Amino acid sequence: MDTYLLRCLSCGTRNRIPAANIGKTAKCGKCGSSVDTEILNTAHPLIVTDRNFQERIMQAPLPVLLDCWAPWCGPCQMMAPLMDQLAAEWKGRILVCKLNVDENPLTSDRFQIRSVPTLLIFDRGQLQNSLTGALPKHQIAQAMKNWL
């Protein structure tokens, strides 16, 4: 991919970032605010907690796929390698994250996570969709097609 789209956290404008500039600080074309492009290098799922939820999900400069899981859940364990694969494939376009529901009850309760695995899709800090159960890759990709 030659360019990536990264949302300015100040004004929400989507800025084109050339691949050669990933890792550098850019300036928003509309408001001039600094835009940290390092997030475009993230090729593995980011860990989300009750403490960092606001920063990692609600203020994310990219759309987010949040895997809500539990360590005792067999289907969650089956989904883990797929989440790693999607994070690598969607690097720079979608931020793949993981939330352990047992360790983060505030966020789990906030989004009424009653069964795991549950996938939550966020864009611009808004919940866009949720998917429940161990799903095949093509079904997750279909749900994410608007952001790919």
Q: How many CB atoms lie within 10 A of CB 23?
A: 11
Q: Please state which of the ranges 16-30, 72-86, 89-103 shows the lowest mean pLDDT.
A: 16-30
Which stretch of 20-24, 74-78, 107-111, 139-143 has the lowest confidence by average pLDDT?
20-24
Predicted confidence (pLDDT) at residue 91 exceeds the cutoff of 70: yes
Q: State how far the Cα of 94 lies from the Cα of 110, in Å rounded to an integer.
A: 23
> Which residue is catalytic, options 28, 68, 76, 97?
76
pLDDT band at 2 (very low <50, low <70, confident <90, very high): confident
Averaged over 37-47, what is the pLDDT?
A: 95
Residue-averaged pLDDT of the chain:
96
Q: Which CATH architecture has domain 42-147?
A: 3-Layer(aba) Sandwich (3.40)
137's tokens: 């890759």
138 pLDDT more than 80? yes
| pLDDT (0 to 100) of residue 120 | 98
Q: Is the peptide bond before 117 cis (omega within 30 degrees of 0)?
A: yes
pLDDT exceeds cutoff 90 at 145: yes
Distance in angstroms (rounded) separating the CA atoms of residues 65 and 19: 22
Compute the average pLDDT of residues 58-76. 97
Does 73 qualify as catalytic in the annotation?
A: yes
Residues whose CB is less than 8 angstroms from the CB of residue 122 and which lie 6 or more positions away in sequence, other chains included: 57, 58, 60, 63, 64, 66, 128
Mean pLDDT throughout 78-91? 97
Say which range, 15-29, 82-96, 97-111, 119-133, has the weakest mean pLDDT: 15-29
**Identity (one letter) of the amino acid at 87?**
A
Mean pLDDT value of segment 31-36: 94
CB 57 within 8 A of CB 97: yes
Query: Using H for helix, E for strand and C for coil, what is the string for 91-131?
Result: CCCCEEEEEECCCCHHHHHHCCCCCCCEEEEEECCEEEEEE
Give ∠ CA 94-132-114 in degrees, rounded to 5: 115
Domain ranges of the chain: 3-39, 42-147
The mean per-residue pLDDT over the stretch 61-75 comes to 98
